[in-house]
């Protein structure tokens, strides 16, 4: 039976000139063997991309980014699957890149750096 993936909700909202980004949870904990992660953006995010901070960084899933599995939107959320062995107890910082429109319709980009922790 497949293990339910950890959901990371990614939202972006505006109040005049104030932009709010929420990554929940900021630290995604993988607590079951074989568990993956699914990043669910709100509709205000036109594109979401998950990547390593540096190309040489370790990654807990197979495949690792860059890969089409890590790029998407609300309708097609990115996913990390196939937890690699030897990742237990390790923390994996990563980068989320968002493309979105500001209140005036101008296309903008934001990058933010949460992390994942493999506990099993």
Partner 1 sequence: MRVLVLAASLSGLGALLATHNAPPSRQTRPVLINVTCAGPDVVNILINPWSRDLNEGDVVELSLNANANTEQLTLEPKDPNDWLFDDPFPYAVSKATPKQLTQLKGTVQKGHAYGYTLTATCKAGDGPAKKIVIDPDMVVH
Q: Which residues make up the interface to partner 1 (CB under 8 A)?
A: 17-27, 102, 104, 106, 108-115
To the nearest whole angstrom, how small is the minimum distance from the Cβ of residue 102 to partner 1?
A: 6
Closer CB to partner 1, 69 or 77, in the complex: 77
Closer CB to partner 1, 24 or 31, in the complex: 24
Cβ count within 10 A of residue 48: 24
To the nearest whole angstrom, how small is the minimum distance from the Cβ of residue 114 to partner 1?
A: 8
**CA dist., res. 115 & res. 77, Å (int):** 18
**CA dist., res. 33 & res. 11, Å (int):** 28
Closer CB to partner 1, 43 or 111, in the complex: 111
To the nearest whole angstrom, how small is the minimum distance from the Cβ of residue 30 to partner 1?
A: 17
Burial class (CB in 10 A: 0-12, 13-18, 19+), 82: exposed
């Amino acid at each position: 039976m497949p293990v339910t993936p950890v959901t990371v909700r990614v939202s972006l909202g505006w109040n005049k000139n104030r932009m709010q980004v929420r990554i929940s949870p900021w630290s995604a904990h993988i607590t079951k063997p074989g568990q993956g992660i699914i990043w669910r953006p709100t509709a205000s995010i036109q594109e979401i991309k998950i990547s390593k901070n540096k190309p040489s960084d370790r990654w807990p899933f197979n495949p690792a980014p860059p890969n089409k599995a890590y790029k998407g939107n609300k309708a097609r959320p990115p996913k990390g699957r196939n937890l690699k062995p030897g990742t237990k107890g390790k923390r994996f910082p990563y980068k989320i890149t968002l493309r979105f429109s500001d209140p005036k319709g101008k296309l903008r980009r934001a990058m933010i750096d949460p992390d994942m922790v493999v506990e099993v």
